[in-house]
Amino acid sequence: MEQGTALASLAQLFGSPGLLALMALAVPIGLLVGALPGIGGKTAIALAIPFVFGMEPIPGAVFLVAMHAVVHTGDAIPAILFGIPGGGPAAATVLDGYPLARQGQAGRALGASLGASAVGGVIGAIALAAFLPVLRPLALAFGPAEIFLLAVLGISFIAVLSGESPVKGLAVGCLGLLLSFVGMDPQQGAPRFAFGQLFLWDGVDVATAMLGIFAVPEMIALGARGGAVSSVSRDAAHYSARQLWQGMLDVWRHRWLTLRTSLIGVVIGLIPGLGGDVASWLCYGHAVQSSKQPERFGHGAIEGVIAPETANNSKEGGALVPTLFFAVPGSSGMVLLLGAFTVLGISPGPTLLLEGGTLVWTLVFALAFSNLLAVAVFLAVTPWLSALSFVRGGLIVPIVFLLTLVGSVVVTGMWHSLLVLAVLGVLGWALSRCGWPRAPFAIGLVLGEIAEVALHQSLTIWGPRFLLRPMALCLIALCAAGLATVALRGRWRGARHA
Amino acid sequence: MPDREDAVLCALLLAVFLGAAWLALDYPAVSRRFPLVVAVPGVALCAVQLRRDLRPAAAGVAPEIGLAERTPLAAELALVAWFVGFVVAAIALGIVVGGALAVFAFLRWRAHESLGLAVAWSAGAAGAVHLVFERLLGSLFFEGLLFEWLRSVA
């Protein structure tokens, strides 16, 4: 029965020139939107709603899913070439993607990001299909207690990402956490650290913070250093299509990491409220933790590109599960997708699981195919994009400064965010100059609010006994194991140096 | 010198954590729980790091990864000033006009590009931002505080 529906949906998708044309249109739009800082998937869906209004449910949904699925493939482009995270989830890619571009390996980093995104996206689609029979118990097993401990697990990665400066890393992580508390207290509704400024009541926007902490310092360094993004000449870099393929082969070389981070991304996507930022940072942390040479990360480790990029795309398959079948959107992007589905006459919820077989399977195939289609589009434009890393910095820096301003204002819709951008840009520069790790800041900022809200909910529902729930115990064990690994690795390294 | 820069940054962060902890004390009990849980360890961590940075022995310690490549502070401070200038221009004159002027100024007086290239590059950037974000995507940028003030005066 299920197989018959799946095959019929597959035939419908590939037998319809109209659906294929819609996907061929949606994929470049998704890539472009991802590459423009500050736009991101949710804005793209919001802007696409008027265009899909009036369409039949399946074509409209296919267009939206195909576009949304490849946004994170596109946002790796500015992250790798200029150190600008197109959105929060791409910030983790900057850490190693940009150093690779500086070493003249932009093509390899872009190839790895492309391969990882495609594999992650396809695995996400497979996971969506595979999870269909076992959805409800899994989704319902995650309550506030598990979300809190998952956030704590992510925060524990701060220690992993701190490298050889654990004190600095932890301090910066605390700073990120502190900044996540700016705005209205989720429990009492009282403003905290707002200094009487209304625009701070909404908190610090993550995209603005990422632009300030990651993009601005890189451009300041580039402008002061002179030359191009790539520190080696174009001839010395030997850029060719071979470099791109080398990057894609890196995904195969690190296939187990790719598989693990894809699955982590799917699971993160399944859990409402965590979102893409968490997926990419958790997977980046996992890549560092599982590496035999963690000191390479932050200086151009290809695994540092692969891990967040697989997670970014695979989580979309996972995130569609609660959105489609429980009408519980896992992120703000999924909220908009849910709204757009409703506009199309689709009623997300358990009945869709029972009665909407053709639509669901068509979306599964659209998700997989759009990720593969993105490879073809991306391959066609990457040689031109990689050349940008050899343009002299004097021309790049002002444009990137302008794009960070645009990105910040587009995301928040308020000019006041420029003040936050300025402050965080200077802070990011100071941290970068003094060699303080910046990744822990992002983890703290992203996970702080999630952890606080979930802890309050857990304490209200279960009291301190929430720590004794079975899945909570598993997550506590994972946190302990992660921290123990870091401690043991530190001692081992210390002993080796001695 | 790098150690002094580190110490200054560390002292600033210490002040931020101390200020946050002090502010948090005024919040209701539930609201201050998390900020205090974070700010107090932050104070301790910065204090430990500051002590390390100020230790006389720190001068003899090998620089951490990346620090050896540091460009002169004055050169980077100039770029920081340019970035702040971009923000001020955007707030005063709006993203499109202020941004275009800031790009032009940077290209002409910082990057020492030719007048023609600076005009073309800045006009192209402003035009692209206007077309893509304002026309195509329908984003509404604010017009800038200066223009708002002039409008209110007029």
Cβ atoms of A454 and A151 closer than 8 Å: yes
Interface test with B, best of A434, A436, A453 (most B CBs within 10 A): A434
Report the gap between the CA of A303 and the closest CA in chain B (Å): 20
Residue A423: the pLDDT is: 95
The Cα–Cα gap between B28 and A49 comes to 42
**What pLDDT is stored for residue A330 in this prediction?**
60
d(CA A147, CA A450): 8
Supply the pLDDT for residue B62.
47
Residues A322, A273, A365, A72: what is their CA dihedral angle, to the nearest 10 degrees? Answer: 170
A434 touches chain B (CB under 8 A): yes
Chunked into runs of 10 residues, chain B (154 residues) has average pLDDT values of 79 95 90 90 93 70 50 90 96 93 94 92 91 78 89 84
Asked if A14 reaches chain B (Cβ–Cβ under 8 Å), the answer is no
CA A432, chain centre distance (Å): 22
Q: CB distance A410–B139 less than 8 Å?
A: yes
Angle at A84 between CA A312 and CA A259, to 5 degrees: 20
Instruction: Yes or no: say if A431 and B6 are a contact pair by the CB < 8 Å rule.
Output: no
Closest Cα partner for A119 from A109, A111, A107, A129?
Answer: A111
Q: Which residues from chain A sit within 8 angstroms of residue B46, using beta carbons?
A: 171
Q: What percent of chain B has pLDDT over 70?
A: 88
Q: Which long-range contacts (CB under 8 A, 24 or more apart) does A133-139 make?
A: A135/A321, A135/A325, A135/A353, A136/A325, A136/A326, A136/A350, A138/A270, A139/A270, A139/A321, A139/A322, A139/A325, A139/A326, A139/A328
- Map residue A257 onto helix, strand or coil: helix
Given CB atoms, is A238 within the 8 Å cutoff of chain B?
A: no
Helix ranges, A53-143 (H): 57-69, 71-74, 76-82, 91-102, 106-131, 135-141
Amino acid at A204: V
Residues in A 42-101 with any Cβ partner in B closer than 8 A:
43, 47
Phi/psi for A183 (5° steps) reads 115, -165
Question: What are all long-range contacts of A197-204, with beta carbons under 8 Å and residues at least 24 apart?
Answer: A197/A416, A199/A414, A199/A416, A199/A417, A202/A412, A203/A449, A204/A179, A204/A180, A204/A420, A204/A424, A204/A445
Minimal Cα distance from A411: which residue of B?
B139
Q: Do A436 and B9 touch (CB under 8 A)?
A: yes
CA A130, chain centre distance (Å): 23
Q: Which residues of A touch B41 (CB under 8 A)?
A: 170, 174
User: Which residues are within 8 A (CB) of A348 and not within 5 positions of it... i.e. 6 or more apart?
Assistant: A323, A324, A325, A326, A327, A338, A341, A342
Tell the residue number behind the tokens 């993607």, with chain if given.
A97
Contacts of B142 in chain A (CB under 8 A): 409, 415
Q: Are A279 and A268 in contact (CB under 8 A)?
A: yes
pLDDT under 50 in chain A at which residues?
none
State the pLDDT at residue B21: 94
**Type of residue at B17:** F
pLDDT of amino acid A139: 55
Which residue in the set A181, A402, A455 is minimally distant from B99, CB to CB?
A402
What is the rounded CA–CA span in Å between residue A167 and residue A285?
Answer: 17
CB neighbours of A354 closer than 8 A, spacing ≥ 6? Answer: none
Tell me the HSE value of A242 on the side-chain side, using a 13 A CA sphere. 4
CB-nearest to A190 from B31, B42, B107 is B31
Query: Which residue in chain B is spatially nearest to A163 when comparing CA positions?
Result: B65
Backbone angles phi, psi at B88, to 5 degrees: -60, -45
Cβ-based neighbour number of residue A330 at 10 Å = 28
Rounded to 5°, angle at Cα B7 from B3 and B12: 150
CB distance from B55 to chain A under 8 Å? Answer: no
Q: What is the pLDDT of residue A206?
A: 77
Residue A282, both tokens: 């958790």
Nearest CA in chain A to B140: A413
Contact A174 B103 (CB under 8 A): no
Distance of CA B147 to the CA centre of its chain: 24
CB-nearest partner of B113 from A394, A431, A448: A394
Gap between the Cα atoms of A188 and A202, Å rounded:
14
Answer for the pair A353, A139: CB distance below 8 angstroms, yes or no. no
- Of residues B64, B91, B133, nearest to A406 (C-beta): B133
Phi-psi region at A205: left, alpha or beta (left = phi > 0; alpha = psi -120 to 50): beta
Query: Could you give phi then psi for residue A197, rounded to 5 degrees?
Result: -95, 120
Q: Supply the pLDDT for residue B40.
A: 94
pLDDT of residue B66: 46
What pLDDT, on a 0 to 100 scale, did the predictor assign at position A138? Answer: 59
What's this model's pTM, rounded to 2 decimal places? 0.73
d(CA A176, CA A427): 12
Put simply, whether A296 touches B (Cβ < 8 Å) is: no
Beta bridge mates, A191: A184
Please report where in the chains the tokens 């869709």 appear, as a residue.
A352
Cβ pair B23, A193 in contact under 8 A: yes
Dig out the tokens for A456 from the structure: 């309050």
Of residues A362, A237, A304, the one with CA closest to residue A94: A304
CB pairs under 8 A between A and B: 182
Is B31–A188 a contact, with Cβ atoms under 8 angstroms apart?
yes
Residue B94 to residues A155, A215, A222, A422, B81, Cα–Cα distance (Å): 38, 21, 26, 15, 19
Q: How close is the nearest chain B Cα to the Cα of A402, in Å? A: 6
